[in-house]
């Protein structure tokens, strides 16, 4: 179990502390939702978590097999919808893996990315197209 402590700092900003490490981050509401957009919004963190989780699980599989994931990257484009409520409507992910060329390894890494806990935790109503670019960085 991990505990994250979040404190409302005012001005539509929150400060979060990761219990185990003490690492801190600040969120800010986006400009289109009354904020200043000076930091990650809470929904930006969802998109960030998705990309980081996919790469992490791919990295675990790659390390197990000795595949070189150096330089791998993810781009996540978050698209919001307003109806019936404001929420994330679509997260478009492009994962670049420059050094893995073996087709079997590529397939294993695709499966790993799509099995990451964040991907598995998101609502079915959120569109989640994922594109893989092997031999390139995203």
Q: Tens place of pLDDT for every residue, the chain, 138 residues?
A: 999 999 999 999 999 999 999 999 999 999 999 999 999 999 999 999 999 999 999 999 999 999 999 999 999 999 999 999 999 999 999 999 999 999 999 999 999 999 999 999 999 999 999 999 998 765
Tell me if the bond preceding 108 is cis, omega within 30° of 0.
no
Angle at 74 between CA 70 and CA 77, to 5 degrees: 170
Helix and strand element counts for the chain (H, E): 3, 6
- For the entire predicted model, the pTM comes to 0.93
* pLDDT value, residue 14: 97
Residue with tokens 């492009």: 94
* pLDDT value, residue 46: 98
- The tokens for 37 are 């957009």
């Amino acid at each position: 179990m991990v505990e994250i402590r979040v404190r409302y700092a005012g001005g539509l900003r929150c400060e979060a502390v990761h219990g185990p490490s003490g690492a801190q981050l600040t969120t800010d509401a986006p400009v289109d939702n009354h904020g200043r957009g000076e930091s990650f919004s809470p929904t930006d963190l969802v998109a960030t978590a998705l990309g980081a989780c996919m790469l992490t699980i791919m990295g675990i599989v790659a390390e197990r097999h000795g595949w070189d994931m150096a330089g791998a990257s993810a781009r996540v484009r978050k698209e919001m919808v307003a109806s019936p409520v404001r929420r994330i409507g679509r997260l478009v992910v492009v994962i670049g893996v420059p050094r893995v060329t073996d087709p079997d390894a590529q397939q294993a890494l695709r499966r790993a990315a799509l099995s990451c806990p964040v991907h598995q935790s998101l609502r079915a109503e959120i569109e989640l197209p994922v594109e893989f670019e092997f031999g390139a960085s995203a």
